[in-house]
Amino acid sequence: MTTRNDRNGVRIATLFRQARGLTEERTCNLERIREEDGIDLAVSDLPRPGYTACLVRPGPDLPCGIILAPGQSRGRERFSVAHEMGHYYIPTHRDRPATWCGEDDMVALADSGKGYEWEANDFAAELLMPRRWFMTDAEGRDPAFHDVLELASPAMYDVSVTAAAIRFVGVTGEACALVCARSGAIEWVARSEAFRYRIPWCGYPVPPGSLARGVVNGEEPNELPEALDPYVWLEVEQQATPELFESTLSIPSQGQVLSLIWVVADDADDEW
């Protein structure tokens, strides 16, 4: 099992924030960091360049550059830039002349098998949403998109909703899971430490009766937590009676539906 002490990206980002005097800044000024370190930024002229973000190291005497795929929202763009900064600043990533990072890389988790991308995501999350600040701001908030959207807003951390939701699941003490679906099938799942239930895994269809299935079928998403039959999502024995809430969010530009599943009465012993 991976522990926080194993997370090289988090450690480097924490040291980076300390060295740059950013420990008291909630919203990180990426533009200032880029300018200070001579990292160029450009947006690709191609509508579909085949990557979300790319870091190019042309040579020891030439400036590095980050190239972004067009059409990204401000919050999403900021996370893409911070991800590539992870590749730039993490010492063990410096042997690669270029990194070409796609959609899957930007959400790579510990169990993805993509060590470099997971470390870059850890770096980006800690740089943009430092754990100390984020835990304080997330305290008392529900695992629902209504609250996550506030955390993602420019007034708070100025990141994509997906990034803020993954971070929320990673720091909260609530039993919750973030499910991403595309074309009616589950693409990836992120769980909080307190979430110990079995749910459908990657590649499985979004369960019938879930709010996410409704959004897939054309219904409007609901950012507020809505009570739902727990057996729609959870694989638990019939004598267990957990309370389950679900909130949903649609990301049309990515063809994705996000679902936050929140178990309030966590009285089951099932391990996922």
> Could you tell me the two tokens for 80?
């893409």
Specify the number of domains making up the chain: 2
Closest CA relative to residue 167, chosen from 8, 181, 176, 90: 176
- Domain co-membership, 151 together with 60: no
User: What tens digit of pLDDT does each residue of 60-115 get?
Assistant: 777 799 999 999 999 999 999 999 999 999 999 988 778 899 999 999 988 778 88
pLDDT exceeds cutoff 60 at 2: no
> Could you tell me the two tokens for 200?
């459908």
Say how far apart CA 237 and CA 87 lie, in whole Å: 44
Q: Is residue 269 a part of any domain in this protein?
A: no
Q: Is residue 272 a part of any domain in this protein?
A: no
Domain boundaries, position 37: 4-128
- Domain co-membership, 26 together with 74: yes
Which of 90, 106, 128 is a domain's end point?
A: 128
- Domain co-membership, 25 together with 148: no
Say how far apart CA 7 and CA 18 lie, in whole Å: 17
Which of 128, 154, 182 is a domain's end point?
A: 128
Alpha helical stretches, state H, the chain? 8-19, 30-37, 74-89, 103-106, 115-128, 131-138, 145-152, 161-171, 211-216
- Domain co-membership, 19 together with 89: yes
User: What tens digit of pLDDT does each residue of 180-235 get?
Assistant: 999 999 999 999 999 999 999 899 999 999 999 999 999 999 999 999 999 999 98
- Domain co-membership, 27 together with 145: no
Residue 99, CB-side half-sphere exposure with 13 Å CA sphere:
28
Q: Residue 35: give its domain's CATH number.
A: 1.10.10
- Domain co-membership, 178 together with 138: yes
- Domain co-membership, 22 together with 123: yes
User: What tens digit of pLDDT does each residue of 56-70 get?
Assistant: 988 777 779 999 999
Say how far apart CA 131 and CA 231 lie, in whole Å: 33
Q: Is residue 210 a part of any domain in this protein?
A: yes
Q: Is residue 229 a part of any domain in this protein?
A: yes
Burial (0-12, 13-18, 19+ Cβ within 10 Å), 18: exposed
Q: Is residue 247 a part of any domain in this protein?
A: yes
Q: Is residue 271 a part of any domain in this protein?
A: no
Q: What is the pLDDT of residue 114?
A: 87
Does residue 120 contact residue 36 with C-beta atoms inside 8 Å? no
Which of 83, 104, 128 is a domain's end point?
A: 128
- Domain co-membership, 147 together with 214: yes
- Domain co-membership, 139 together with 259: yes
Confidence of residue 237 (pLDDT cuts 50, 70, 90): low
Does residue 200 contact residue 207 with C-beta atoms inside 8 Å? yes
Bridge partners of 182, per DSSP, are 185, 256
DSSP string, 233-271: T-B--TT----EEEEEEEEGGGTEEEEEEEESS------
> Could you tell me the two tokens for 9?
């990206």
pLDDT exceeds cutoff 50 at 55: yes
Q: Is residue 14 a part of any domain in this protein?
A: yes
Alpha helical stretches, state H, 50-92? 74-89
- Domain co-membership, 137 together with 257: yes
> How much of the chain exceeds pLDDT 90, in percent?
80
- Domain co-membership, 149 together with 230: yes
User: What tens digit of pLDDT does each residue of 132-168 get?
Assistant: 999 999 999 999 999 999 999 999 999 999 999 999 9
**Comparison of pLDDT for 113 and 55, the residue scoring more:** 55
Q: Is residue 26 a part of any domain in this protein?
A: yes
pTM for the whole thing?
0.90
